[in-house]
Chains A and B, each alone.
Chain A
Amino acid sequence: MRGLLTLLLLGPGLVGPAAAQPGAPPPTVAEAQADGFQLRPPDQGAGSLLAGGLALGPGLVLHGLGHYYAGDHATAKVLFAAELVSVGLLTGALLANNLGDGRGELGGLSRGLTHAGVVLFAGSWGADVLGAFKGSTALELDSSRVRGNRFGLAYRYTDDPVTDFRHHLVFRLDLNAGWFFLRPLVDLEGSARLRQLQAEIGARPLRGDDPHERLELGVRLRRVENQSHGFSTVGLMGYSGYKVDLGRLVEGLRHLYAFGRVGYGWDGYQFAATPDSVPALFSDTALGDTYLLLETGLGFNLGQRTHLTLSALSDPTKDVPPFAGGTGGLVELGLVHRQSDSLDIEFLGTMGDGFALLLGLGYGL
Chain B
Amino acid sequence: MRRRAALGPLALLALLVGCDQPAELRDAANAAAAKVRLTDTLTVTVGGGAVVSTTPASGDAPAQVRIRAQSQDVRVDVVDRGCAPVTVAVTVTHLPTGIEGSWRALLDGLPLETVAARAAGGGVVDFQGDPHDRDRVPLGRERPFTPAEGSAPDVRRFWVTTDRGRQAVAADEAPPVARPALAGACVTPDAPEAGRLGAAPLVARFRLRRPPRSGGFRFAVWGNTAGMTAARDALIASVNAAAVDFAVITGDLTASGRPDDLRAAVAQLDAGLAVPWYATVGDRDVVSQAVGTVVAELGRTTFAFDVGDLRLIVLDSADKALSPDGHTQLRAWLSDGPLWWGGTPAPPVRLVLTHVPPFDPFGTRANGFNQRLEAGRFIAALKRAQVPYLLTSQLAVFETQRQAGVTVVHAGGGGAPMERDAAHHWLQVDVAEGCLAADDPPAADAPCGGCQAGQACTAEGCAPCVTLTKVEFSP
CB-defined contacts of B20 to chain A, threshold 8 Å? 324-325
**In the complex the two chains form, is A287's CB within 8 Å of B380's CB?**
no
Task: Choose among B3, B9, B363, B373 the residue with the greatest number of A CB atoms under 10 Å from its CB.
Answer: B373
Cβ of B213 within 8 Å of any chain A Cβ, yes or no, is no
CB-defined contacts of A110 to chain B, threshold 8 Å? 365
Closest A-chain residue to B18, C-beta based? A325
Contacting residues of chain A (278-304) with chain B, CB-CB under 8 angstroms: 286-287, 289-292, 300, 302
Closest A-chain residue to B15, C-beta based? A118
- In the bound assembly, the distance between CA atoms of A238 and B225 in angstroms comes to 38
**In the complex the two chains form, is A267's CB within 8 Å of B372's CB?**
yes
Q: Tell me whether A287 and B404 are in contact in the complex, defined as CB-CB below 8 angstroms, given that A122-B11, A126-B11, A130-B6 are known contacts.
A: yes
Report the minimum CB–CB distance from A181 to chain B (whole Å): 26
Q: Which of A126, A162, A308 is within 8 Å of B327, CB to CB?
A: A162
**In the complex the two chains form, is B364's CB within 8 Å of A107's CB?**
yes
Q: Which of B18, B359, B419 is within 8 Å of A287, CB to CB?
A: B359
Contacting residues of chain B (1-43) with chain A, CB-CB under 8 angstroms: 1, 3-9, 11-13, 15-20, 22-24
**In the complex the two chains form, is A321's CB within 8 Å of B374's CB?**
yes
**In the complex the two chains form, is A226's CB within 8 Å of B376's CB?**
yes
Report the minimum CB–CB distance from A197 to chain B (whole Å): 15
0/1 per residue, B293-336, Cβ < 8 Å to A? 00000000000000000000000000111111001000000000
- In the bound assembly, the distance between CA atoms of A133 and B384 in angstroms comes to 59
0/1 per residue, A100-125, Cβ < 8 Å to B? 11111111101100000011001101
CB-defined contacts of B268 to chain A, threshold 8 Å? none
- In the bound assembly, the distance between CA atoms of A310 and B11 in angstroms comes to 12
**In the complex the two chains form, is A107's CB within 8 Å of B367's CB?**
yes
**In the complex the two chains form, is A104's CB within 8 Å of B404's CB?**
no
CB-defined contacts of B3 to chain A, threshold 8 Å? 134, 137, 139-140
Report the minimum CB–CB distance from B13 to chain A (whole Å): 6
Cβ of B371 within 8 Å of any chain A Cβ, yes or no, is yes
Report the minimum CB–CB distance from A257 to chain B (whole Å): 13
Q: Which of B327, B366, B381 is within 8 Å of A316, CB to CB?
A: B366
Q: Which of A224, A231, A316, A326 is within 8 Å of B380, CB to CB?
A: A231
Closest A-chain residue to B365, C-beta based? A107
**In the complex the two chains form, is A271's CB within 8 Å of B16's CB?**
no
- In the bound assembly, the distance between CA atoms of A230 and B420 in angstroms comes to 37
Report the minimum CB–CB distance from B236 to chain A (whole Å): 24
0/1 per residue, B399-422, Cβ < 8 Å to A? 001011100000000000111100
- In the bound assembly, the distance between CA atoms of A275 and B19 in angstroms comes to 36
Task: Choose among A102, A106, A137, A331 the residue with the greatest number of B CB atoms under 10 Å from its CB.
Answer: A102
- In the bound assembly, the distance between CA atoms of A139 and B363 in angstroms comes to 40
Contacting residues of chain B (117-153) with chain A, CB-CB under 8 angstroms: none
- In the bound assembly, the distance between CA atoms of A106 and B366 in angstroms comes to 11
Q: Tell me whether A329 and B362 are in contact in the complex, defined as CB-CB below 8 angstroms, given that A52-B6, A125-B11, A140-B3 are known contacts.
A: no
Cβ of B370 within 8 Å of any chain A Cβ, yes or no, is yes
- In the bound assembly, the distance between CA atoms of A171 and B362 in angstroms comes to 33
0/1 per residue, A305-332, Cβ < 8 Å to B? 0001010100011110111111111010
Report the minimum CB–CB distance from B379 to chain A (whole Å): 7
Closest A-chain residue to B8, C-beta based? A126
Main secondary structure of the interface of A (DSSP, over half): mixed
- In the bound assembly, the distance between CA atoms of A110 and B364 in angstroms comes to 10
- In the bound assembly, the distance between CA atoms of A122 and B10 in angstroms comes to 10
Report the minimum CB–CB distance from A158 to chain B (whole Å): 11
**In the complex the two chains form, is B404's CB within 8 Å of A271's CB?**
yes
0/1 per residue, B341-356, Cβ < 8 Å to A? 0000000000000000
Report the minimum CB–CB distance from A44 to chain B (whole Å): 11
Cβ of A58 within 8 Å of any chain B Cβ, yes or no, is no
Q: Tell me whether A230 and B380 are in contact in the complex, defined as CB-CB below 8 angstroms, given that A162-B374, A291-B363 are known contacts.
A: yes
**In the complex the two chains form, is B376's CB within 8 Å of A130's CB?**
no
Cβ of A258 within 8 Å of any chain B Cβ, yes or no, is no
CB-defined contacts of B16 to chain A, threshold 8 Å? 312, 323, 326-327, 329, 331
Cβ of B179 within 8 Å of any chain A Cβ, yes or no, is no
Cβ of B360 within 8 Å of any chain A Cβ, yes or no, is yes
Cβ of B51 within 8 Å of any chain A Cβ, yes or no, is no
Cβ of A264 within 8 Å of any chain B Cβ, yes or no, is yes
Cβ of B361 within 8 Å of any chain A Cβ, yes or no, is yes
CB-defined contacts of B7 to chain A, threshold 8 Å? 126, 310
**In the complex the two chains form, is A321's CB within 8 Å of B371's CB?**
yes
**In the complex the two chains form, is B404's CB within 8 Å of A269's CB?**
yes
Q: Tell me whether A137 and B366 are in contact in the complex, defined as CB-CB below 8 angstroms, given that A122-B11, A122-B12, A324-B319 are known contacts.
A: no
CB-defined contacts of A326 to chain B, threshold 8 Å? 15-18
Closest B-chain residue to A52, C-beta based? B6
**In the complex the two chains form, is B18's CB within 8 Å of A323's CB?**
yes
- In the bound assembly, the distance between CA atoms of A324 and B323 in angstroms comes to 11
CB-defined contacts of A130 to chain B, threshold 8 Å? 5-6, 8
CB-defined contacts of B6 to chain A, threshold 8 Å? 52, 126, 129-130, 133-134
Report the minimum CB–CB distance from B126 to chain A (whole Å): 31
**In the complex the two chains form, is A233's CB within 8 Å of B376's CB?**
yes
Contacting residues of chain A (127-142) with chain B, CB-CB under 8 angstroms: 129-130, 133-134, 137, 139-140
Report the minimum CB–CB distance from A305 to chain B (whole Å): 14
**In the complex the two chains form, is A316's CB within 8 Å of B419's CB?**
no
Cβ of A274 within 8 Å of any chain B Cβ, yes or no, is yes
Task: Choose among A123, A134, A269 the residue with the greatest number of B CB atoms under 10 Å from its CB.
Answer: A269
Report the minimum CB–CB distance from B150 to chain A (whole Å): 38
Task: Choose among B11, B362, B376, B396 the residue with the greatest number of A CB atoms under 10 Å from its CB.
Answer: B376
Cβ of B377 within 8 Å of any chain A Cβ, yes or no, is yes
Cβ of A273 within 8 Å of any chain B Cβ, yes or no, is yes
Q: Which of B4, B372, B384 is within 8 Å of A317, CB to CB?
A: B372
Cβ of A78 within 8 Å of any chain B Cβ, yes or no, is no
Contacting residues of chain A (218-245) with chain B, CB-CB under 8 angstroms: 224, 226, 229-231, 233
Q: Which of B19, B362, B376 is within 8 Å of A269, CB to CB?
A: B376
**In the complex the two chains form, is A104's CB within 8 Å of B362's CB?**
yes
Task: Choose among B17, B365, B379, B417 the residue with the greatest number of A CB atoms under 10 Å from its CB.
Answer: B365
- In the bound assembly, the distance between CA atoms of A73 and B461 in angstroms comes to 84
**In the complex the two chains form, is A287's CB within 8 Å of B384's CB?**
no
CB-defined contacts of A329 to chain B, threshold 8 Å? 16
**In the complex the two chains form, is A291's CB within 8 Å of B380's CB?**
no
Q: Which of B366, B381, B383 is within 8 Å of A292, CB to CB?
A: B366
In the A-B complex, the 3 residue pairs with the smallest Cβ-Cβ separation, listed nearest first, are A325-B18, A107-B365, A104-B362
A: residues with CB less than 8 A from B are 38, 52, 60, 100-108, 110-111, 118-119, 122-123, 125-126, 129-130, 133-134, 137, 139-140, 161-163, 224, 226, 229-231, 233, 264, 267, 269, 271-275, 286-287, 289-292, 300, 302, 308, 310, 312, 316-319, 321-329, 331, 333, 353
B: residues with CB less than 8 A from A are 1, 3-9, 11-13, 15-20, 22-24, 319-324, 327, 359-367, 369-377, 379-381, 383-384, 395-396, 401, 403-405, 417-420
**Cβ contacts A to B, 15 pairs, < 8 Å:** A101-B418, A103-B362, A103-B419, A104-B362, A104-B419, A107-B367, A126-B7, A130-B5, A130-B6, A231-B379, A287-B379, A324-B320, A326-B15, A331-B16, A353-B22
